Amino acid sequence: MAMPALAQLGLYFLVLGRSGGLFAAAPVLSSNAVPMPVRAALSALLALGVTPAVAVPPGGVPQALLPYAGLLVREVAVGLLLGLLAQAVFAAIELAGTYCDIELGLTIAAVVDPVNGESTSLFAEWFSVLGTLIFVAGGGLEVLVAVLALSYRHLPLGAPVVLSGGVAVALGALGWAMLGGFGIAAPLLALAFLLNVLLGVISRAMPQLNALQSVMPAQILVALVVLLLALPALLVGFGNLIPEVLTWSGRLWA
């Protein structure tokens, strides 16, 4: 039996609430690089495609305002949790850049982040831009669609919210991202350690020499050379984060 047009519209807006929450917090899509109208249009199109496959809540779509508003708020919260979880996984990229900047002393050369409009450090910004390209080209958007579709399999509309992980899973993903950032930045961190040891030896041997100003240009040059050599490994590391979004979102239902 076909649903009334009003019930179909109500179901669509419930799905839009979850997809809109996901897009509002997901990596890349939640940044200032994606204008709000584009983000809203993408979430609306995604909800339009997903709605026919979404089961109607038990008892049908609520007709009263308060029950419907409560269900809509719940759907937005579920979408935000999924988006924040994906954002936590991809935080490993910017954390890796921040670690490199701190160890190489490049935090003094802060620049304005064109993506988020904030002050950031050099390697963190470069890693962020590279991670954005990998996310778009490596199927990150498709993974977000899969995350949304799987969420309806494990958490249908109107079903009790039973997330065995919840916030704990999101915090676990953030901790994993911090360790993952160390792993991604390992070659540059090792180089920074050796350069700092060398800087300490030079300062000890020639205290009259301003070692920081003398060594900094060479330090940056060597870091850039090592970065270029490590670029293939960095690209692989960034790409491996995309399937991790599915892995960590699956832990919400485990």
pLDDT digits (tens, 9 = 90+) for 62-104: 888 898 998 999 899 889 888 888 888 888 888 888 877 777 6
Between 132 and 207, the higher pLDDT residue: 132
Rounded Cα distance, 163 and 48, in Å:
26
- Residue 155 scores a pLDDT above 60: yes
Asked whether the CA dihedral 235, 236, 242, 248 is positive or negative, the reply is negative
Q: Is-contact 14 152, C-beta < 8 A?
A: no
Which band of pLDDT confidence, cut at 50, 70 and 90, is reported for residue 18? very high
Output the CA–CA distances (angstroms, integers) from residue 139 to 182, 195, 238, in the order listed: 24, 37, 12
Cα separation, 109 vs 116, in Å, equals: 17
**Whole-angstrom Cα distance, residue 52 to residue 212?**
63
SS3 call for 111: strand
pTM, two decimal places: 0.79
Fill in the amino acid letter for 154.
Answer: H
DSSP calls for 155-191:
S-TTS----SSTHHHHHHHHHHHHHHHHHHTHHHHHH
pLDDT digits (tens, 9 = 90+) for 194-244: 777 777 777 677 666 665 566 667 667 777 777 777 788 788 888 888 888
Q: How many CB atoms lie within 10 A of CB 205?
A: 9
The residues, any chain, with a CB within 8 Å of residue 218's CB and separated by 6 or more, are none
